Structure 1
């Protein structure tokens, strides 16, 4: 179990501050949501944590140790991410997608003369990730034949192939039907309790059903952090983002 900490994180593009002096701590095993209106800086925030962007200043730490700003080194530090847009290999089967993901994190992946026996644990890792996301009955199905909801489940399973300590999820419910969304909520809640989750999501039903603590961003700054009730009753959050539908009456 690991603590994710963000200290004084700042990202500017030219004269535009997208993330400004952002501080956040996610303790081990917590399910934390980051929400906010479009343009609040949520995806930029994830890109900074995972090394896809280099911060202008500030640092990302795991258990007090600074994480290098390179995606591969971030993964080795224990952080994995599922993406908002589809990055699947559509012509391969579910299990082949998972095997490729597992092999990407294998220590022998760049040694091309290794025997297949060197990778004997890959299918077991792939099946474990499939089991977590309830994909075991469609392992041999080409991805192109999956429903959209199943593809979203597979995206999360691919991130789990890295055996992360901290899982970042970028709008996993985007574009799903109500039935698919309910299934995804159930699957997220069934993930190992020692897995720390940082969830960026627009769907407040998903946020409230899966996360213990919610952080609200507005123009790259933290507007509020608290429990579901705290956030629902915060006048500034209601005004900036939630509106009255999700506020407590």
Structure 2
């Protein structure tokens, strides 16, 4: 069963065609990476999948969601996204950041904490997401006191607050130290297998450690799709992107 299908997708900005008849599928529960050089169309594809922009032509089918859904509709159907840089509230605690994220998609959001039960549900959802990213030891610290790696963990935890079925992550390890990157890899590997993950990253150590399927984009087209081992050995991919150090 597919969690996500992209069919013959095109995206043009004026006369410039960014995505060119692009198709791919992501299996339910899969760990799927999108890689490729800058300008390959990865972020544009993410924006289309998450409803932040509309395709010129083609279809995006997210399991259970209406076609061409808005970001808020997709979020309610279990699609979450972490950005390269989220806007964190630096002067409040980690748990409060998570609470705000959990509240945003709670049914009672139009009447702030309309009942004790909804308040508890929001806090439980926030705490669960934080524990999944091993932030429970710093719940009551202000965000500005965290290390850079912990802030990246918090950004992923914020996306998890919606209890998504599909999580899209845009360079979650960018800027982290080797130790922080290893910690983040371990945390992503530990997320529930029923959660479908789609990952964009230039860090091949992260991609090959976390993902079981890799799609390589080049100039708005799919160059290759396969397992990490298959991608490492693909001569077109090695020549166009990876270089011979990964072959």
Q: TM-score, normalised by structure 2?
A: 0.96
Shift of 1:118: 3.0
Mapping of residues 165-244 of structure 1, within 5 Å: 165-244=165-244
Do residues 76 (structure 1) and 65 (structure 2) align? no
Instruction: Specify the alignment match of 1:7 in structure 2.
Output: 7
Distance in 1 between the 2:93 and 2:20 partners?
A: 42
Residue 121 of structure 1: SS of its match in structure 2? helix
> Contact 1:5/1:64 (CA < 8 Å) preserved in 2?
no
Are residues 63 and 69 of structure 1, via their aligned partners in 2, closer, same or farther at CA, if it must alter by over 3 Å? closer
Are residues 100 and 37 of structure 1, via their aligned partners in 2, closer, same or farther at CA, if it must alter by over 3 Å? same
Distance in 1 between the 2:23 and 2:77 partners?
A: 20
Residue 88 of structure 1: SS of its match in structure 2? coil
> Contact 2:64/2:77 (CA < 8 Å) preserved in 1?
no
Aligned-CA RMSD value? 1.5
Residue 120 of structure 1: SS of its match in structure 2? helix
How many residues align? The count is: 247
Are residues 152 and 67 of structure 1, via their aligned partners in 2, closer, same or farther at CA, if it must alter by over 3 Å? farther
Distance in 1 between the 2:161 and 2:59 partners?
A: 26
Gaps of 5+ in 2: none
Instruction: Specify the alignment match of 2:156 in structure 1.
Output: 156
Shift of 1:111: 2.6
Mapping of residues 79-158 of structure 1, within 5 Å: 79-112=79-112, 114-158=114-158
> Contact 1:6/1:24 (CA < 8 Å) preserved in 2?
yes
Shift of 1:78: 1.2
